[in-house]
Amino acid sequence: MKKNSTKKAFTIIELMVVIAIIALLASLVAPKFMTKLEGAKVDTTKAQLEMFSTALDSFNLDVGRYPTDGEGLKVLWTKTKDIRGYDGPYLPKPANADAWGNPYIYKTTSDDHGYNIFSYGKDGKEGGEGKASDIYLWDN
């Protein structure tokens, strides 16, 4: 006597429907995720600018001045005995690039701050609007 065995399995149509639903859901979620990711990169860059500010103030307290444009930010994580009063490094490791991989810009100024640090942002170019705006430690 033979038993009728029926195997239950997904048909190709059912699999295609499931894949289509997953693709639809992903297309709805991905843009929101990317927006959050860009916002996180801006926040990370701002936090690093604040970290630089603290390290630069420590350098200033020890040395009596801020780094020159030639010394740049590198002096904050590179030990040196060439600078009188230097008691660094002031940062534990190099922080050369912003969240997009672009270099930070450090410039000495003659205003009350004595320096400015900024990132050219997502596009890596000076200027820009919206998501491509430059990110400054202080408002310009």
Domains with residue ranges and CATH for the chain: 40-136 (3.30.700.10)
Q: How many CA atoms lie within 13 A of 83 on its CB side?
A: 20
Q: Which amino acid appears at position 74 of this protein?
A: K
Q: Detail the DSSP E strand segments found in 2-133.
A: 105-108, 115-119
pLDDT at 3 over 70: no
- pLDDT one-digit tens code per residue, 80-108: 888 899 988 999 988 889 989 999 999 98
Q: Which amino acid appears at position 31 of this protein?
A: P
Q: Is 77 within 8 Å of 96 (Cβ atoms)?
A: no
| pLDDT tier at 31, thresholds 50, 70, 90 | confident
